[in-house]
Amino acid sequence: MSRALRLLVYNWPLKLGAIVLATLLYGGLVLSQSTRQYRDPIPIGRVNVAADLYVVSDLGDVTSIQYVAPPDLRVDANTFRAVVDFGSVDPGAGSASLPVRLATSDPSIQVIDFEPKRISVTVDRVTSRDVPVHVEILSSPPGFELGTPVADASTVTVTGPQTVVSQVTQVLARVTIDPSGIDVDRTVDLVPVDANGNTLSPIDVAPPSTRVKVAVFTDRRTRTLPVNPVVTGTPAAGFEVAAIVVDPLVVSVEGDANDLSGLDRADTQPVSISGASSDVVTSVSLNLPNGVQALGSGTVGVTIRMRPVTATRTYEAGLILEGASPDRVYALSTDRVLVTIGGSVADLDRLSASSLVLTLDVTGLGDGARALAPQANLTTGLSLIAVSPASVTVTISSPPPSPAPSP
């Protein structure tokens, strides 16, 4: 201990002089530059904001910067950058006091002081939920009747701070009816509101807009029309449409008398069966003329039943014996027949004529002539339609005795 003390106080006048000299040199360096004040606002940015964190409050600006820089150095708003790091902030904290970091783009600039050094921020957890879409008619000219407003989107997703999202009861598509009475058919922005109709923010709406239709009537009439399913496309090879079923069969529509005149059916939006090999079941909206709208949901169920395309083909087939005994001789009236096979085109295409054979069952039969019907062992989906000739005569006999050996 005493040795360390002696080293500390040894030649202390020289050490003190060195410290004073260094201080004077630093002070001279500082005095050789100019101390300045920058008072234009520098917006405070944010870094490391988690996906589930919503920064509710405005971060504001750095309003005063005291710095030292060479006299000839020009300083502007791009010289400084202020940020707040949100990497350690809990989304459920509600609020936090965070330090402001100030950096310069030029290493020759030395920041002495700035304000504010800390800011208080309000945070919330990001959340999303689905809410209904409601069309609100802001104004309508007298002398017209309005049909039921129809929006393409029935629900949308709202995203934002949890405390604000929880207040959203619906989103409004606000529409004004033109004094001329023209039907409404346009895209309308969606506005999130609370139970009292107050607009809420900050809220993101996805999608942010929707198409809205409102029929405007001068001579309102209704009519019941049969539903006409519109089918497009071509099914998969080897398949065809067996039946088309719609539910309901008829719908009620409304419109001005002149728009309904000549309308004898309610077409659906196109239903595609391109490449289909099984039943197509879907719900589809009606494709009605402008000025005409459906009473009710405006959608119908369409079921398109598919079936394989069937056909028949005739082949020449060979005959083989089944159950033949090695100690019998079998003679056939013919060794080939014509066979007609039915089934789907796809299954028939897979059938190889070169390997097609029919069988004659001679199991357990004794000597003599028998008329036997050829049988076919076909894959699932194929069936034997006809064989020509329908029967083949098989003559069964014992082999001739072997000649006696010569003496």
Q: pLDDT 10s per residue in the chain (407 long)?
A: 555 445 555 566 666 666 655 555 455 555 445 688 999 999 999 999 999 999 999 999 999 999 999 888 889 989 999 999 999 999 989 999 999 999 999 999 999 999 999 999 999 999 999 999 999 998 888 888 888 898 999 999 999 999 999 999 999 999 999 888 888 889 999 999 999 999 999 999 999 999 998 888 888 889 999 999 999 999 998 788 999 999 999 999 998 888 888 899 999 999 999 999 999 999 999 999 888 889 888 899 999 999 888 889 999 999 999 999 998 999 999 999 999 998 888 788 888 877 788 999 999 999 999 999 999 888 877 889 999 999 999 999 988 776 666 65
Report phi then psi at 136, rounded to 5. Answer: -110, 120
pLDDT at residue 18, rounded to an integer = 62
How many Å separate Cα 393 from the centre of its chain?
67
β partners of residue 361: 322
Q: 405 is written with which tokens?
A: 């050996």
pLDDT at residue 183, rounded to an integer = 86
pLDDT at residue 233, rounded to an integer = 95
* Residues contacting 181, CB < 8 A, separation 6+: 141, 143, 144, 216, 218
The CB density around residue 62, as the number of other CB atoms within 10 Å, is: 23
Q: Is the dihedral of CA 287, 293, 294, 298 positive or negative?
A: positive
Give dist(CA 163, CA 65) in Å, integer. Answer: 36
Cα separation values, 56 from 92, 126, 349, Å:
12, 10, 68
pLDDT at residue 144, rounded to an integer = 86
pLDDT at residue 403, rounded to an integer = 67
Give dist(CA 390, CA 384) in Å, integer. Answer: 12
pLDDT at residue 60, rounded to an integer = 95
